[in-house]
Amino acid sequence: MSLTTDYGTSDGFVAACHGVLGRLAAAVRVIDVTHQVPPGDVTRAAHVLAQTLPHLPPAVHVAVVDPGVGTARRGIAIATPDGLLVGPDNGLLPWAAEALGGITAAAELANPDWFAPDVSRTFHGRDVFVPCAARLARGAPLEEAGPAVDPATIVRLPDPRAAHGDGWVEAEVVTVDRFGNVQLAATGSALTGLGADVTVGGVSARHGATFADARQGQLVVYVDSADRVAVAVNGGRAAVVLSVTPGDTLRVEDRR
């Protein structure tokens, strides 16, 4: 099983989830993907899941970034060819489902026998999602979780913007990692044909394969480990140099 949340590690929320899993499915191994998603940032978590889960063993993947907890939003479980996804129906899961081969079935988490005896309105990670995931990890059929869900009704986030042409790429910033590297929505192939000297947001940069292809303190545009166009600074933080955050748009183009 994997667990991804915005709970952080300064409180006991993650430990409580691990504890529930230990009570219900003690033999299940857990991989903590991250608990440092910015609070309530569903889009950031969706990107993390889509880029990370294909590298994990087939498993039940629990994701809880849930600003609508306690409202009418559904809890869902999604089956894919390479694992199950469990979490809120708020756009968090579909990109990861596509990365795992696509949605083959889905169910609403509506079986109270699968929940904690007393469900908190503000902690469904502990009381709904992890207990349901534990039962699925032990082999319970998806159909017992609750009624089937039409995949077309599952909430989706807007696809990030990306376009490219002869000598240019323009795309939305999707993530900024802890090193300050800026990842764009465009796939790596969008850089094909660009020369070695480019600009990013009007700032001089190098088009290279790794950080050392730029001189110290210089921007470098490259294809990152998720096959996305990314911008870094050799020895610095690109997000600071470019003053961008997720949702902004950056243009990369040949230097004229």
What is the predicted pLDDT for the residue at 256? 79
**Biggest CA-to-CA distance, the chain:** 66
What is the predicted pLDDT for the residue at 71? 95
Fold of the domain spanning 162-254 = Elongation Factor Tu (Ef-tu); domain 3 (2.40.30)
Count of residues in the chain: 256
What is the predicted pLDDT for the residue at 187? 97
CATH 3.40.50.10790 spans which residues of the chain?
A: 2-153
Low-confidence ranges of the chain (pLDDT < 70): none
What is the predicted pLDDT for the residue at 108? 98
- The CATH number given to 2-153 is 3.40.50.10790
CATH 2.40.30.90 spans which residues of the chain?
A: 162-254
What is the predicted pLDDT for the residue at 148? 98
Cα dihedral 150, 172, 66, 73 sign: negative
Radius of gyration of the chain (CA): 20
- As given in the structure block, the two tokens for residue 52 are 């990370």
pTM above 0.85, yes or no: yes
Q: What is the DSSP letter of 234?
A: T
pLDDT one-digit tens code per residue, 198-241: 999 999 999 999 999 999 999 999 999 999 999 999 999 999 99
Q: What is the DSSP letter of 54?
A: G
DSSP E strands in the chain: the ranges are 2-5, 31-34, 59-64, 75-80, 83-88, 105-108, 162-165, 168-176, 182-187, 197-200, 203-207, 219-223, 228-233, 249-254
